[in-house]
Amino acid sequence: MPPPWLKVLPPILQRQLVSPMAQKLVGNTSWMFVDKIFRAVGELTIGVWLARYLGPQQFGSLNFAIAFVALFTPIYSLGLDKIVVRDIVQHPEHTETTLGSALGLRLIAGMLGATVTIGLIMRLRPSEPLLQGLVGLMALGIVFQVSDVVTFWFQSQIQAKRDIVARSSAYGATSLARVGCILNQASLITIGFTYVLEPVIRAVGLFLVYWRTEDITKRWRFSLRRSVELLHHSWPLILSGVAIMVYMRIDQVMLGQLANDEAVGVYSAAVRLSEGWYFVPITIASSVFPAIVKLKHSDERGYQQQLQKLFRVIVALSYCAILVLTLFSKPIIATLFGADYIDSSRVLLIHAWSGVFVSLGTVRSLWMATENLLVLSFLFTLVGAISNVLLNYFLIPRFSAVGASAATLFSYFLSAYALGFLVPSTRKMTFIMSKAIFLR
């Protein structure tokens, strides 16, 4: 029986979604899109409220702790997501061993990583016990993200709904907890506890949903041999994840170290607005790209034309967002965050333009995966990460948060666009991206 939502679509779309698999894919994507919207709205509304309550100094400390722990997330996660999903699909007879081994690896990596992270922050900020406590809480929360192994299972079965319900419930519960903290004027460390609460609730929810939907007689099994095989395939993804996370989070960490936590708070307020809409191009590209890829072997010209259209659409969306953020940066910041964050408007004027290159890079990364250029994609990201670190090192002492935003913009421009001209295999695609920048 066709799903109810199919009946409200135009007849031409109904004909394209006749097969159960097509309907399943659309439903899966829809749930993912709804989840991203829910989180984006939550991050913006509650994030703004939290920023106003804490003020730039404490809000900066909170965001420094989040960014600091995030730098080590790829090491915690071991790059297992794509590998485990792929192996379950290709070798379903080894599912229990694959999941059990992934769970064991993630648990070991999480505990060791949390210990290292806490030790490192104690060395870098020896006289700041509050910040040490925040980082410790964030790191403890990472350990509970072993439940992501259940997510791998749902992804392999194209069952996003169950996973997203558990995740969204945890996010909703902790969001309400943060609101309660604000209303009751709780301390910063109490708010930090909510960042442990979310992965704990999510872990309980995911495992309960899994055991209710799967045969409880099945037992996951840890295998040393299987663990070694998983790590053998995942280590390039670990390196790539580290490069990406440095690329995205190092600015806040370096601001905290080279300037102060208040500068981190000012910068984080602007970034919340600048990045708040990024889920739109990411979701559009992820949803549309599989259909474009189908044209590659049957109609190369059509394949190129559809890529051009996709680039043009997401760049146009970027310009719309940038226009609003740049023209109204001061009133937006003043209205949402208050007078204490007015310096964030200068950061927003620069950082908003990163959206163009983030959008272009989203589509190009999908194209590079299709063309088997993953090593080159990693190298581009690595160069972007290195340039971001170097520019932050020289610009932050002089220009503080504004310098960090300029470093981020240039590193995105370099990695997602400019480097493509230097390599023959990406040069043609970079010219296509150039046309999209001019909406051609």
**What is the reported pTM?**
0.83
Average the pLDDT over 132-160 and give the result: 80
Measured CA to CA, the distance from residue 414 to residue 358 in angstroms comes to 11
Locate the domains of the chain by residue range: 26-222, 262-440
Q: Return the half-sphere exposure (C-beta side, CA atoms, 13 A cut-off) of residue 32.
A: 20
> From residue 24, how far is each of 2, 5, 85, 432 by CA, in Å?
10, 12, 17, 32
Higher pLDDT among residues 258 and 278, named by residue:
258
Helix 344-351 crosses helix 374-416 at what angle (to 10 degrees)?
A: 120
Mean pLDDT of the chain: 83
Measured CA to CA, the distance from residue 210 to residue 154 in angstroms comes to 9
pLDDT, tens digit, 9 for 90 and up, residues 297-320 = 777 777 788 888 888 988 999 999
pLDDT of residue 387: 94
Examine the pLDDT at 213 and tell me if it is beyond 70: no
CA 372 to mean position of chain CA atoms: 22
Measured CA to CA, the distance from residue 436 to residue 361 in angstroms comes to 12
pLDDT, tens digit, 9 for 90 and up, residues 230-241 = 888 887 778 878
